[in-house]
Structure 1
């Protein structure tokens, strides 16, 4: 858009021209998600929160509509819904009993069936499984997302895993150093990075985890382009080193880059440094992914 972007004061906050350019980029690159999801994403990136810590999503939606009225950005059409926003459910503790009693080697169970979560029934099943069996529980991710259910075909059709991909972390020192981009390139190309934000294996089947990763990554690029009109170049994930080694990622040829500071995505005040350190791993979906993210070609 050609509209000149200037500092904007709204709801008691001054938004700089750089922040407005970031909002413009997020709206332009996150096609396919709702206005509510855009508002949550912008609030998260700019740490626009209430005193109690909640995101100012309602105010942000009003700001987005104001900016649209000024010709700074173009929002997606409003969606009809009976809910007031993304529903969030966090499990207090994951179940210790396995969901599936299947055991053996992945080759014993036929080819894996990877289904993208699209129907209401699939969404309910995915949410229920992740809520009950993942140590972090289920939470509606901010921004873009794709979810998959993975099943075996014999001795019967049975779900054995769940995988979720969503919007990337805004900043991670080890990742950003590996790519070698500056702030301007990161703002322009960040949406070509996808985060593997949930990974759940529901059966004690040897090599199941790495096979699940390989199968879903094989179709992630085309599914993401179809949904959002963006070519993903790199996938990232964070592994809690106190709980997991991350061997399945390494077996699937992911690259370990280092560790997080432990702050978390929302700790802009650096108050939780070192509290939850995680290992950063990435998987290039294309050749020369770092160069393409850094140079734009």
Structure 2
């Protein structure tokens, strides 16, 4: 990404985990970093390291997000890269998850991404440049019992990212959805749980407990993931529609795509023969 000054990158959800690792890696490369979190004190150390820090609730009203975008752009006169990382994991069988919990999950993981991005799009379009990196999840690559609502919100991020890649191409705005696997972050400890626990899903509850006990032993290193992500967003490479990050995520998407291709071949003839007789 050729600019006369180091690119400006804005990252949401920098209080911990992958967002913090991306911000730290970006600073080490000399990028101009805008790190956000709900609470400014959660990113005060990044401010001391040279980042500009702003408070941001991505579920805020659109007018407030537009004011935030204007404030962020004014810090350096531009934003080149937007990393939509903020989100959380809602666990529970779909039946156990309340409508309010489902709406909250989508309000953060999906609508927060869409609304904040829309607040920056006029700036990107005016400059005819911009990079939007949306942090999805490997949970959108295959049906994980217990992660239905979370995975659905991340699958929506995958889809909207691929639509943006086509809609915004004429403005030289590039978009990718990045699906991390399991990394040693605070995702498990920050996980939210179902509103009610039904005995019939006892197996899922045991999986939840195992997942919590596994926290801190995940295979992925968020610092290494941050290196990959920064390499991607500062390059001019052609982008895939969705990009798994993490050995487990790569293996899962590979397995899922092969299984779907086999299933499609087995059923494609059944799906035909529905055209109108005069079509």
Query: Do both share a fold (TM > 0.5)?
Result: no
Bigger share in helix: 2
Bigger share in strand: 1
Q: TM-score of the superposition, structure 2-length normalised?
A: 0.29
Q: Which has the higher contact order (CA 8 A, sep 6+)?
A: 2
Q: TM-score of the superposition, structure 1-length normalised?
A: 0.27
